[in-house]
Amino acid sequence: MDLSVNLAPQHKLELRLRNPVMTASGTFSNGIEIGKHFDLEQLGAIVSKGTTIQPRRGNGTPRTVETAAGMINAIGFQNIGVSALINTICPVWERWNVPAIVNIMGYTLEEYGTLAARLDGVPGVAALEVNISCPNVEAGGLEFGQDVHHAAAVVREVANATSLPFLVKLTPSVADVRPIAEAVERAGAHALTVSNTIPAMAIDAKRRRPVIANGFGGLSGPAVKPIAMRNVFQASSVVEIPVVASGGIMTGLDCVEFIMAGATAVQVGTASFLDPAAPWNILRELEEWFTAEGVATIEEIRGVARRKD
């Protein structure tokens, strides 16, 4: 069995993963703590916490709440900032034999370009993941990823600033993900991550207030899986570049389903809050499924659910 995948086949550096199981941004910190307990080098790739130019303390608490089928979070992009990431985390990643992908997030076009330029050529960084589910402060707060032109502009900005391969992480908060996926591919993305959390809220009846201090947050976990599934199916039907699935992946079978919808790799997020060993368990289950079904490569089943025959 060969589970390896390439997330940037058109890029000179490529982005080869030994298997398709990745961690999802924000659910794994930067891997340092978990790396003390589990063997990260067994995974396909790790993805950092969303990184901004300046360090951020994030929102007040409570900023997470469990729901019937997942969780809502409003962390507010708490992170150490790009300089500290480069100085303290990247040297650790450099020693690890697993691709580390930095998830970046800007509030203006220029910030995306600055982040991409700062991380260009930094040892230990294999690729970038560009989160465009962020309010564009220059365009009245509409998310970059909700508008074809703004999304493409971010991608061009990043493409001009880095020689690294990069994934672009799409928002599910659009009527149709296909025009955005096409625009992002045309503008130069090497792969897509589909998709991010979905705006949501919870009310605490006892306090008669929203549970989350910030009011709203992003829903993730099993509740969002069917939404992400449709988005992966649709996005991968209109682009040539690899699509990485994100949303409610809890088991090896979830990965298989996303690959059948068209995904080349998958990210494990909320599942790690239930069990930090989730990415490794999911990988084992995926291998067991491949063995049981006599399937030898990801390509053999990728996108089969899209076939008309």
Other CB atoms within 10 Å distance of the CB of residue 160: 11
Our CB check for ligand FMN shows the closer of 2 and 61 to be 61
Alpha-carbon radius of gyration of the chain: 18
What Å distances lie between residue 204 and 27, 218, 290, CA to CA?
24, 17, 44
Q: Is 134 a catalytic site residue? A: yes
Q: What are the two backbone dihedrals, phi and then psi, of residue 170, each rounded to the nearest 5 degrees?
A: -85, 155
Cα(153)–Cα(121) distance, rounded to whole angstroms?
22
Comparing C-alpha atoms, which of 59, 39, 23 is closest to residue 216? Answer: 59
Residue with tokens 């955005």: 180
- Selection from 192, 289, 272, 195 nearest residue 236 by Cα: 192
Rounded to the nearest whole angstrom, what is the least distance from the CB of residue 309 to ligand FMN in the complex? Answer: 32
| Nearest CA among 85, 8, 91, 87 for reference residue 49 | 85
- Closer by beta carbon to ligand FMN, 194 or else 297: 194
- Distance from C-alpha of 151 to C-alpha of 148, rounded to nearest angstrom: 5
- When the beta carbons of 152 and 278 are compared against ligand FMN, the nearer one is 278
> Which residues form the interface with ligand FMN (CB under 6 A)?
24-27, 49-50, 71, 73, 75, 77, 103, 131, 169, 196-197, 220-221, 224, 246-249, 268-271
Taking the complex as a whole, the smallest distance from the CB of residue 268 to ligand FMN amounts, in Å, to 6
Distance CA 100, CA 62 (A): 30
For 113, other C-beta atoms within 10 Å of its C-beta total 19
Q: Name the minimum Å distance from CB 115 to ligand FMN.
A: 13
Angle between helix axes 252-261 and 225-238 (nearest 10 degrees) is 30
Cross-strand bridge partners of residue 280: none
As measured in angstroms, the least distance from the Cβ of 288 to ligand FMN is 20
Query: Closer to ligand FMN at the Cβ: 196 or 234?
Result: 196
For the bound state, the minimum distance from the C-beta of residue 2 to ligand FMN, rounded and expressed in Å, comes to 25
The three-state secondary structure class of 94 is: helix
* C-alpha–C-alpha distance, residues 145 and 147, integer Å: 6
Q: Which is nearer to ligand FMN, 73 or 162 (CB)?
A: 73
**In whole angstroms, how close is the CB of 46 to ligand FMN at the nearest point?**
12
Query: Which residue lies nearer to ligand FMN by CB, 17 or 224?
Result: 224
Catalytic residue among 71, 134, 170, 189: 134
Tell me which residue has its CB nearest to ligand FMN. 26
- Give the active site residues: 134
